[in-house]
Every structure is written in structure tokens, then in C-alpha cells.
Amino acid sequence: MDVDGMDGTMEIKGAATIGARPLPWWKRTETGVALLALLVLAVYWPVADGGLIWDDSVMLTAHPIVQSPDGWWKVWVSPPTNKTPDYFPLTSLLFWVQYHVWGTKTGCYHAVNVVLHFVNCLLLWRLLARLRIPVSWLVAALFAVHPVNVPSVAWVAELKNTLSLPFYLGAILAYLRFEDEGGRRRYAGALALFTLGCLAKSSMVVLPPALLLLAWWRRGRITKQDVLRSLPFFALALASGIVTMCYQYRPDGGLPVSWGWQLANGLAVMGRAVWFYLGHDLWPVNSCAVYPLWGLDLESAATYLPTLALAALFALLLWKRNTAWGRPLLFGLGYFVITMLPLLGFLPTMYMQFSFVADHWQYLSLPGVIALPVAAGVAAARWTAALPARGGKRRKAAALPSRPLFPGMAVLAAVALAVLASLSCRYAWVYSDAMRLWRDTMERNPEAYVAYNNYANDALARSQCSLGEAASFFREAVRRNPGYSEGWKNLAQAYSFMGRTDQAIDACRHVRLAGPRGVRVRTNLATDVLVLYGALVKEKGDVATARDCLRQALQLDPGCAAAQFNLALLEMQAGNPAAAAAGYRILLEQTPGNRKACNNLAWILAATPAAALRNPREAERLARRALAMADDDNSRYSLLDTLATAQAAAGRFPEAVKSAQRAVGLARRVKVPPAGIAELEERLELYRKGLPFRDRPPAGESPGAGPDAATKPSVSSETASGMGK
């Protein structure tokens, strides 16, 4: 029967029907909803046509399960791999649905995040009103426009934040209704919503202690009944935490846990991070995608002073917990620290190699900080209103303002909303474009080496810089962090494309493939570097080392297509066509759409001198399959040459002549070098004479057509997936 007025008080539905005066328009719930919607739209309009940033592609265009037609169930059962680094199946399911509805229309993904953020603001308003928090609409409005929330809303990959919070807030509301009104269904509903929240993002595990804190806030104490009611929530949280650790701390994940060091690291980071967050939340200027990484001297006692100061503050608030100011401060600060605890340094995350703090980690915790100054303002206004009048007599209670939001405070609130909305709108504009985001990060934090790396990658992808310019950014990244393996790998790749093989090999040797205790840093990075290094040393003539590198890469990741392809090509060029054919068959089983593997296997089956391996019929079938996948004349002429070779091997020379003539014509059109055209014409003359073509062992790489050349990994951006977001 009750709804919330904009001032946070509890109004009665249908009051007009029992003779009560109707509410003025500015106090009606629908007015508050409309204003919240306008605030959210005003702040986030810059991302309406925004693109993908950072690891958005990892969640969408490069995510094998999201792209899979049957990914709707694979998201629930897929084991942890380097391509599925976290277990949040509900979030992945929503990504799958969106991808198969509107593909890569990025504006639609941003719209979903913005709508979910608006829903979260409404639920927060409802929850705070139920907890009798003063001016709950204002707290929700400040949450709607606060700059700290911009990364969670404007960053597509942070769907896990905006999707999990409705379940979190809904679980709390259901639990409060159960406490107030009883009913097993409400309790079961709270458990179900909490479970869905954990499936959207594992950091929802902080709900059980938050429920105990709410019990203290409402009744002044935590009873045995409160603890018993929370036990199923703790059990679900434990299960979710175990699953998350299995994904995050797998052997190839690069997150080895050393509990002794992590305890010291957490104690060092915790206090400093909390003070940083509180300061930035109350004065949110100079927001940055990657904040400076603090240097921590774990041997120095001064490193732990911020944590000691935080502990002293909590001790004071516990002592004054029954006072008018101590109780709300303990509740707000306690909620903030409890909900931030998993991300305060006690558990390692990949993101912490860049910074120990991040705005998008606060999406769940921010309401506790916002409510503190708002409640303090209301308390101060009420205290001021209760001061003795000029005549020396104390005002009567009836003379005190009856509304929580006083005229002076309303003006202050309007100014705060306008300022925060302006800051957030500008920040959302930064997040709407990847290159703009990294330029802004480099300006605000010149030591953010990941920004130099990712800016160069995005510029290359858009053809807005040359390889030389990109290499300069990669060099700057590794200069600022000599241990930055991703930057060294990209620098090696850039040198490789520029033909500077020796410098590329040297850059590869700087990559650290192993972390503490021999744990691989990350499988995808290790395999990329091994494939690249193998290709580079092969160019220098070191075939044995190249073969060893590729085999190591396949041991790490049997599904690494580049390693499998290059190893098969190496065997082919070394005169081992049977081994090469076996490798290509494995690759085609894993990736049936690999055109190069189709072409090269067809070439072996058609042109090999080994009669036992030759299979002209299969070779022609594979060649036609590869030709159907060709999208330009540069690849089509080579595939026609393979098709002609297969047709000649089958004894159908008139068809082989026609295919070879088409290959020569296309080769001339795309201006293939004379040596390549000469090879095509030599094969054409053979077919005219009724003779098939046979490779001469060892099978060298044809400069004109024939086998496709080796595959090298492309430059890549450092991602934040699996980084405790």
C-alpha cells in the first residue's frame, strides 16, 4: 500500500480516496521517476553512438561462446580457459542474446547499460526510503549522476555491474519485507535474487554481511535469529567464491596466490584505498580510467599508517555507535568497507598490475558514501532549526520544518546535482571512444603504460598511425614499465611487420613468460610470443628453435590456430608432407572455416610426390571450399592455382588449364611479381601438355601461389578481463 514521496517519507496510496489532500506535483513519485530518467539521459547521451573500448571486444567479438549459436547453454557449463576467464553466466547470457539480436551495433549495448543504471537508481531510492534514510530521492539522484559510476555505465564490458545490482538491491528489499511481514516466499525470493546476482557478478558475495549490518541499523543489535537467517546466504556466497577462485587462480591464469604476501599487501592497500575512494567520491574531479599505481614498501611501518588510521576511526565509531552522529557514520562507512573488501588488495587481481584502485569497483559501494554527507546535511539543518530563537526561547517542535529537504538545502542539492552531472557527462564523452579514453588517461596519468600500448593498438586498427608511430608508443610503454610483457610482445610484432627482424627477436626475449613459481603469466600471451618468436627465428634460418617454440605453444594451448598452422607449414617446407597434412587436418577440425589451412592441405594432397598421401578428389573438394571463402583477387588467384593443380592430379587437364588461365589473369590484375607469374605459367604449360605438377622435396614456399605463408599473431591491447571487476 505504501509508495515513496520524493522527500523519502512513506506516503499512503489512495490517500485522496479517504479525504487526504492530494500531494503537490513536486512530491509525487511519478515526478521523481521522471526527473531521475532525465538526469540519467542528460549524463549518458554521449555514449548513444559510442564504440567499444578496452576489453569490450573480448566480451563480444572475440568471445567464442557469445558468438556460438548454442552459447546460451555453454555459458553455464564451459570450463575456465584463457578465452573465458571469469564465471558470470548470467552476464554472458545477456551478451549472447544481445549479440544475436543486434550484432555489433554498439549503441544498443550502451542503451542496455543506461537503462539498467536507471532501474538501479529507482531500486536504490525504494530501498533507502524503506530504511527511513532522509531524502532518499536525493541520494538516488546523486548516485545517478556521480562520475564514479561512469565507467560502470559507459563501458560495455561492465554490464556485470549494472546487471548484478538490481538483483542485489532486489534481494535486500525482499529480505526486508520478509523481516517485516514474514512469509517463506519472500525469504526464498531473496535467496533466488541473491543467487542470480552472484551469477551476474561474483562480488555480490558481500550481501550476507551487509544484511547483518542492516539488521543492526534497524534494531540496534544483531540477534541469533539474524545470524541463522543469514547462514544460507553465506553458504551461497562461499560457493560463488570457490567457483570464482577456480576460474581466477587456475594454473594458466597468471594469478598465483601467496597468502603471506597477500595479507601484508592487503593491509598496506586497504587503508590507503579506502581514504582515496572517500576523498574522490566526495570531490570527484580528475577522474581517470587508470589511476597511478602506488609503490608499496611492505617492510616499512609507515605503509600501514592509513590502515591504522581507518581502524582507529572504526574504533571511535563503535564507541559512539549509540550517538546521533556515530550511528549513521558507522553504518555508512561500515557498508562501504564491507562491500569493497574483496577489492582492497587481499586477493590478487589482474587489474592490480595497473592500479590498486578503480572507479568501476565502487558501483555497489557508492550509495554508502553518498548517504553520509546527505544525512549529515539533513541532521545539521534540523539541528540549526532547533536552536534558540533571538528572544532566547527555544523553538517549539511544531515550529520546526516538517520536511527533510529545506529550502537552503534544496538549492545546495540542485547545485551539487548540476556539477556532478556536468562532470559525468564530460567523463562519459571520454569513455565513448577508445582513442579518446587513452589520450585522456595519458594526460592525467603519464605513468599509465597500458594507455600507451592500447592507444597504439587502437590507432593501428583505425589506420590513424603508421607502424613506426605505433612502435614509438610501444617503446614508451615498456620504458615506463620494463616488465610489461604485453608491450614487449606488441613492439616485437611491430618490428616484425617493419622487417626489423633482429630488433623483433630482441623484444621477444624481453617477454616474461613465467611468473612466480614458474606459473605461466597468461596462456594467450605466452602462445602469441612463442608463435611470433618461432616465425622470426625461422626467418633467420633456425628451424629447430622455431619448431620447439611452436610445439611449446601447442602444449600450452592445443587450440592455438597460429601455432598449429605454422608448425604444419614448417613441416611442409622441411619435406614432411605427411606430418604437415596431419597438422592441417587437426586445425580444420578445430576451425573449419580456416581458408589457409584448406588451401595448404589441398596443395599437399594434390602436389605431393608421395603417391600414398596423394588424394586428388579430396584436394579438389578442399580447394573449392577455400575458394568459396575467398573475398578478394589477391587470395583468389592462389586458390585457383591450387584448384588447377588438384584437377591436373585427377587427370582432368582441360579443366585444369581453364583454372590455371584464370589464376594467371587474376595474378596479372593484382600485379603479382614476375617470378610468381612465371611459376603460374610454368604449371599452365604442364597442364597443356597433359602433365600434373609435383612438388620438389623439400617443398619450398611458392612466391606466387601454392601454400599460404606463415601466420603471426597481431598486436593486441591489454585487456581487463578476469581482473576482478
CATH of the domain at 554: 1.25.40.10
222 three-state secondary structure: coil
Residue 526 belongs to some domain of the structure: yes
**72 shares a domain with 171:** yes
CATH number at residue 678: 1.25.40
- pLDDT tier for residue 476 given thresholds of 50, 70 and 90: very high
Residue 257: predicted pLDDT: 46
**106 shares a domain with 234:** yes
Residue 564 belongs to some domain of the structure: yes
pLDDT top residue among 526 and 604: 604
- How many angstroms separate the Cα of 47 from the Cα of each of 62, 328, 427? 22, 36, 10
Residue 265: predicted pLDDT: 83
- pLDDT tier for residue 16 given thresholds of 50, 70 and 90: very low
Residue 4 belongs to some domain of the structure: no
**660 shares a domain with 611:** yes
Could you give the percent of the chain with pLDDT greater than 90?
Answer: 52
Give the three cell numbers for residue 629: 571463402
- pLDDT tier for residue 358 given thresholds of 50, 70 and 90: very high
Whole-angstrom distance, CA of residue 708 vs CA of residue 596: 6
The answer on pLDDT for 22 being more than 80 is no
The mean-pLDDT minimum among 15-24, 148-157, 169-178, 408-417 falls in 15-24
**209 shares a domain with 282:** yes
Residue 34's contacts (CB-CB under 8 Å, 6 or more residues apart) are none
**678 shares a domain with 639:** yes
Residue 14 belongs to some domain of the structure: no
Count of domains for the chain: 3
- pLDDT tier for residue 671 given thresholds of 50, 70 and 90: confident
- pLDDT tier for residue 386 given thresholds of 50, 70 and 90: low
Helix orientation angle between 89-102 and 184-200, rounded to the nearest 10 degrees: 70
- Listed residue (114, 121, 188) closest to 153, CA to CA: 114
- pLDDT tier for residue 350 given thresholds of 50, 70 and 90: confident
Residue 246: predicted pLDDT: 77
Average pLDDT for residues 302-307, to the nearest whole number? 93
**627 shares a domain with 562:** no
Q: What are residue 602's DSSP bridge partners? A: none
Q: What are phi and psi of 654, to 5 degrees?
A: -60, -40
Residue 480: predicted pLDDT: 94
Exposure letters 639-659 (e unless 16+ CB within 10 A, then b): bbbbbbbbbbbbebbebbbbb
Residue 12: predicted pLDDT: 33
The mean-pLDDT minimum among 141-145, 299-303, 415-419 falls in 299-303
Q: What are residue 254's DSSP bridge partners? A: none
Please count the other Cβ atoms lying within 10 Å of the Cβ belonging to residue 671.
9
Residue 133: predicted pLDDT: 82
- For 394-452, the DSSP string reads BPPGGGS-SSSS-HHHHHHHHHHHHHHHHHHHHHHHHHTSHHHHHHHHHHH-TT-HHHH
Residue 284 belongs to some domain of the structure: yes
**317 shares a domain with 218:** yes
Residue 356: predicted pLDDT: 93
pLDDT top residue among 519 and 420: 420
Residue 105 belongs to some domain of the structure: yes
- pLDDT tier for residue 24 given thresholds of 50, 70 and 90: confident
- pLDDT tier for residue 652 given thresholds of 50, 70 and 90: very high
**722 shares a domain with 673:** no
Average pLDDT for residues 456-462, to the nearest whole number? 92
The answer on pLDDT for 551 being more than 70 is yes
Residue 1: predicted pLDDT: 32
**229 shares a domain with 147:** yes
The mean-pLDDT minimum among 44-53, 226-235, 323-332, 369-378 falls in 369-378
Residues of the domain holding 627? 594-697
Residue 440 belongs to some domain of the structure: no
**599 shares a domain with 560:** no
- pLDDT tier for residue 26 given thresholds of 50, 70 and 90: low
Residue 261: predicted pLDDT: 53
The answer on pLDDT for 667 being more than 50 is yes
Put simply, whether the predicted model's pTM sits higher than 0.85 gets the answer no
Helix (H) or strand (E) holding 4: strand 2-4
**510 shares a domain with 641:** no
**189 shares a domain with 125:** yes
Helices (H), 201-258: 207-219, 224-248
Reported for 465-468, long-range contacts at CB under 8 A and 24+ positions apart, including other chains, are 467/494, 467/497, 467/498, 468/498
The answer on pLDDT for 686 being more than 70 is yes
Computed over every residue of the chain, the mean pLDDT equals: 84
Residue 28 belongs to some domain of the structure: yes
- pLDDT tier for residue 635 given thresholds of 50, 70 and 90: confident
Residue 46: predicted pLDDT: 94
- How many angstroms separate the Cα of 259 from the Cα of each of 86, 232, 263? 21, 27, 6
Whole-angstrom distance, CA of residue 551 vs CA of residue 549: 5
- How many angstroms separate the Cα of 332 from the Cα of each of 216, 217, 337? 12, 10, 9
The answer on pLDDT for 326 being more than 90 is no
